[in-house]
Structure 1
Amino acid sequence: MIEIEFGREDVARTRFALSPLWEVVASVRVLKGADEHGLHRTWTEQVRPRLAAAALDFGALFDLIPVPSRSPWTGSVPSFLCPPPLTPLPSLAMELATLRATPPELLTTTSAVPEARMAALRADPAARLGRLADVIEAYWELALAPYWPRILTLLENDIRYRAGRLVDGGAHHLFTDLDPQVAWADGTLHLAHRTARGPRRLDGRGLLLVPSAFVWPRIFSVLGEAWQPSLRYPPRGVGALWQSRTAPVSEALAGVMGRSRALLLAELTAPASTTELARRSGLTPGGVSQHLTALRTAGLVSAHRAGRQVLYARTRAGEAVVEAAAAGT
C-alpha cells in the first residue's frame, strides 16, 4: 500500500489533464496483451489488421513498452516515454515536442526494455527521439485518431463529473469513487500496489489526475520522478466505450442535411471506408463519396489514411450532432 500524503498546498495544486501520448502508450500495452478481460476487443480487432497492412516498422515504439507481466518491473513503462502533461488538454504534437526534448539523463528505465534499444537512444538522443516521435505519429493516425472524438468525450465527461465532486465535497468526495484501488483518509490517499509500500510526499506539487481509456483495471502512478506526481486511472463508463451506438436516422436531422447524409453520419459508429459504407447504406460508392465530402467540409466527419484505404469517422461535432438529434426524438 502506498500512502500519498497531502499538505494544504498539495490539495490546492491537484489538477486534471488528458494525455494523447499516454493513450498511445497504454493502447500499445493493450495490443501486447494487457486486455485479458477483452474490454477493448472491438478496437483491437479493427486496429491489428490495419497496422499490419500499413507495413511500417513500429519497433521503435513497441520495444519500449514491455509485454504486461505480473513481475513488478517487466510490466512497467519507461517514465520518459510519457511525461505527465503540462497543460489540461495538450495536443499530441505538444507532447511529442516534450518527448523530443527529453534530457539525456532522463533516458533510463527499470523496465524490461531491450538494452540495445536503450543504448541507441542514449547514443544519439536527438535523432532517436525524433524517429520515435515520427513512429508515434504514424501509429496515432492508424490506431487512435479515428477513435479520438469518442475517447475524448469519455475522458472529458469523467473530468467534468470529478470536478463537480471536488466542488461539492472536497478531496474526500473526489476520491471516494475514483477507483476501488484508492481510498482517502485524514489527508492521505491510500493506493493499493503489488510491491511498493510506505508514504510518499507530494512536497507542495499537488497530484495530477489523468483519466485513461486503456488502463483498466489498473492505475498507473508516477510518484518518484522529476515530473509532477500523477495517477492515470480508468474513467467512468469505460466499459461502454466500444459498444455500438447505431441509432435510427433522425427525421429532424434528415430534414436539415438530407436522409443520405444523416444515414451515413448515423452509420459511422466506428471508422469505415467508402466501400463499407456503400454496402451498409445501400448507396452507390460515388454517392457515398460525395456525401462524405460534404460532411467533411461541414466539420462533421474526418478522414484518416490507413494504407491504401481512407477511413472516415465522426468528429466531436459529428458525435454531438448525432447525440443531440437522438435526444430530441
Structure 2
Amino acid sequence: MSKTCRQVEWIFTPEDVARIRFAFSPIWELVISLRAVRDPARHSLHLPWVRAVRPRLAGLDLTELFALVPPQGYVVDFLTPPPESPMPDFAADLERVRRADPERAAAEAVRANGSASGGVARFVADPEAGVVRVADTLERYWAIAFAEFWPRIHGLLEGDVLRRVRRLAAGGARELFADLHPSVRWTGDRLAVTRPRQYSEPLGGEGLVLVPSAFYWPDVAVMMKPYRPMLVYPATGAGTLWDEGPPPAPGALAALVGRTRAQILIALAEPATTSVLARRMSITPGAVSQHLGVLADGGLVTRRRLGREVVYRRTPVGDSLVCAS
C-alpha cells in the first residue's frame, strides 16, 4: 500500500458516537508553537506573535524541547496529553506532563528523532530527570511567551467548539465531520484520517476527543492508544488570529494596574462573563471577580446583568489604557 493511501481509522459504536466530545488544550498550543519559534518561515500565519516573543526568549534554553518537537513529523505524545476536561487549565496540563511515565517518554523521544543520539541523548540517558527538566522549561516558556496571548487564542478555539457543537446537535456525526478537514472522512460507523501510517481499531466505548488548534493549522494530528483517542484539527478562523497584530503586551499597563488585571483588560476586547474570563486565563472565578471589582471601582470596566449572568466590558477609559500600552 502506498504511503498516500494509508489512514488512521476509528470504528464507532453508537456509544462512541454519543461520547464524542470537544476540548482544547493550552499545552498543545504551547508545545506546537515551538515550531513557529524555530522556523517562522514555515509558520508565517503566526509571524506577528513570533516577532513579539522572540526577543524575550534569549535567556531561555529551548534546545531539549526543540529535539522533542521536531520541525515536522511526530511530536512526543507525553508533552501533549489529551485534554481530560472541557475547561482548559494549563497548570493541570503541565502537572500531567510531570507525571509522564519516564520509560514511555524516552521511547517517544527516540521515535521523534530516529535514535537516542543527538539532541535527545541527555533526555534518554535519564528520562525521569528529563521529564522534570522539560516540564520546568515549558512552565517558563508559558510565562515568558504565551500566557498573555492565551486569552485571544482561547477565544478563537472556544468559538470553533461552539460552532462544531451546534453542527453535531443539528446533523449528527455526518454533519460534524463533513467539513472538519479534507483528510477526514465519515463513512457511517468509521472515521478515517489520511495519515502516513496504517491503523484501524474500534474505539471500544471511549469515544473520541476533538481538539481545535490554532498553531497546528492547517494540518490534522491524531493520538491513539495507549493515550485516549484524539483528533486535532485546524480551528476555523485561525488565519485571522493575528489580523490586528498580537494583543498589546501589558508592560506599562501591568506596572499601573498589576499583571493579571492588565491581562483581564486585554481579554475584554470582547465583553465576557467572570466564568468565561476564568476559563480563558486559567485562574479561579473568585480571583477574576476580585480583579474585576477593582477594575470596576477604578472606572476601567463596567458590568451589566443579562438574564442570570453579569457581563463585563471595558469602558472608554479602559480602552484608552489598553491601546496606549
The structure with more helix, counted as a fraction of residues: 2
- The aligned residue for residue 111 of structure 1 is 112
Distance change >3 Å, CA 127–CA 289, structure 1 → 2: closer
Confirm or deny: 8 A CA contact 1:63 1:114 kept in the other structure: no
- The aligned residue for residue 58 of structure 1 is 62
Tell me the secondary structure at the aligned position of residue 42 of structure 2.
Answer: coil
Distance change >3 Å, CA 325–CA 314, structure 1 → 2: closer
- For the pair 1:13 / 2:19, whether they are aligned, the reply is yes
Distance change >3 Å, CA 85–CA 289, structure 1 → 2: closer
Q: How far apart are residue 148 of structure 1 and its match?
A: 0.5
- % identical aligned pairs: 39
- For the pair 1:211 / 2:162, whether they are aligned, the reply is no
Q: List runs of 5+ in structure 2 lacking aligned partners.
A: 1-6, 273-300, 302-311, 316-325
Distance 1:47 1:272 in 2: 13
Distance 1:98 1:198 in 2: 26
Residue by residue over 1:280-317, the C-alpha shift from the partner in whole angstroms, topping out at 9 and shown as x without a partner, is xxxxxxxx677x42xx59x6523xxxxxxxxxx84434
Distance change >3 Å, CA 78–CA 159, structure 1 → 2: same
Distance 1:169 1:202 in 2: 21
- The residue correspondences of 1:134-283 to structure 2 (distance < 5 A) are 134-193=136-195, 195-197=196-198, 199-223=200-224, 225-244=225-244, 269-271=247-249, 273-274=251-252
Tell me the secondary structure at the aligned position of residue 39 of structure 1.
Answer: helix
Tell me the secondary structure at the aligned position of residue 144 of structure 1.
Answer: helix
Confirm or deny: 8 A CA contact 1:10 1:202 kept in the other structure: yes
- For the pair 1:127 / 2:129, whether they are aligned, the reply is yes
Q: How far apart are residue 163 of structure 1 and its match?
A: 0.8
Confirm or deny: 8 A CA contact 2:268 2:314 kept in the other structure: no
Counterpart of 1:201, as a letter, is P
Q: How far apart are residue 104 of structure 1 and its match?
A: 2.5
Confirm or deny: 8 A CA contact 2:40 2:47 kept in the other structure: no
Confirm or deny: 8 A CA contact 1:222 1:230 kept in the other structure: yes
Distance change >3 Å, CA 129–CA 84, structure 1 → 2: same
Q: How far apart are residue 120 of structure 1 and its match?
A: 3.7
Counterpart of 1:232, as a letter, is V
TM-score, normalization by structure 2 = 0.74
Tell me the secondary structure at the aligned position of residue 40 of structure 1.
Answer: helix
Distance 2:247 2:63 in 1: 30
Confirm or deny: 8 A CA contact 1:219 1:234 kept in the other structure: yes
- The aligned residue for residue 33 of structure 1 is 39
Distance 1:315 1:87 in 2: 25
TM-score, normalization by structure 1 = 0.73
Distance change >3 Å, CA 37–CA 316, structure 1 → 2: closer
Distance change >3 Å, CA 37–CA 31, structure 1 → 2: closer
- The aligned residue for residue 284 of structure 2 is none
Distance 1:122 1:26 in 2: 21
Counterpart of 2:134, as a letter, is L
Counterpart of 1:197, as a letter, is Q
Confirm or deny: 8 A CA contact 2:16 2:205 kept in the other structure: yes
- The residue correspondences of 1:45-124 to structure 2 (distance < 5 A) are 45-52=51-58, 55-68=59-72, 75-107=73-105, 108-109=107-108, 110-112=111-113, 115-116=116-117, 118-124=120-126
Residue by residue over 1:106-130, the C-alpha shift from the partner in whole angstroms, topping out at 9 and shown as x without a partner, is 1212111772554543544443222
Aligned-pair RMSD on alpha carbons? Answer: 2.7
